[in-house]
């Protein structure tokens, strides 16, 4: 059998090569939607904010979760697509509670590190929580001695 022969291909099987390189790139990066997209409907429970066509449903538990991640009120408002003032008016308590929970968890992690022997964490917590310092100042030695004319 001769290996130099190529089998005949039908015109449908041959690759179509465009002559211009711009056309090749355009075809190469063209968006092709999925054959079977999975579209569905999701219902959310939450507070309805906005008026008219601008109504949005904002779940308070999502606001709380985003605030525990350290998101600002502005970032959360952009996430839900509502004005920042609307977020502050309706969800300030949830946001504040999430921020406080994050601070508590950070303190807990710091204390756990310090109690496990992390020297730098012990020093930092000693300075910030216990009022300790590297250069202690004795208030009695800084006072002026009393002057007498006897």
Question: What is residue 26's predicted lDDT score, i.e. its pLDDT?
Answer: 53
Over residues 52-81, the pLDDT tens digits come to 888 888 999 999 999 999 999 999 999 999
Q: Predicted confidence band at 19 (pLDDT cuts at 50, 70, 90)?
A: low
Nearest to 94 by CA among 72, 52, 65, 69: 65
| Nearest-angstrom CA–CA distance, 54 and 91 | 18
| Nearest-angstrom CA–CA distance, 33 and 40 | 16
Query: What are the strands, taking DSSP E only, across the chain?
Result: 47-49, 56-58
| Nearest-angstrom CA–CA distance, 39 and 60 | 25
Average pLDDT (96-117) is 90
Average pLDDT (14-33) is 59
Q: Predicted confidence band at 85 (pLDDT cuts at 50, 70, 90)?
A: very high
Backbone CA torsion sign across 35, 41, 46, 47: positive
29 close to 37: Cβ distance less than 8 angstroms: no
Tell me: pLDDT of 124 over 80: yes
pTM for the whole structure: 0.56
Question: What is residue 14's predicted lDDT score, i.e. its pLDDT?
Answer: 53
């Amino acid at each position: 059998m001769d290996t130099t022969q190529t089998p005949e291909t039908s015109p449908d099987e041959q690759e179509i090569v465009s002559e211009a390189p711009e056309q090749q790139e355009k075809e190469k990066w063209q968006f092709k939607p999925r054959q079977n997209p999975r579209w569905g409907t999701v219902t959310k429970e939450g507070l309805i904010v906005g008026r008219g066509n601008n109504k949005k449903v904002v779940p308070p538990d999502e606001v709380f979760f985003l605030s525990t991640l350290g998101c600002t009120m502005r970032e959360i408002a952009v996430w839900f697509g509502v004005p920042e003032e609307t977020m502050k008016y309706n969800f300030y308590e949830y946001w504040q509670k999430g921020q406080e929970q994050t601070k508590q968890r950070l303190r807990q992690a710091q204390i756990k590190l310090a109690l496990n022997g992390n020297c730098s964490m012990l020093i930092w917590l000693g300075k910030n929580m216990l009022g300790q310092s590297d250069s202690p100042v004795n208030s009695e030695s800084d006072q002026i001695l009393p002057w007498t004319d006897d």
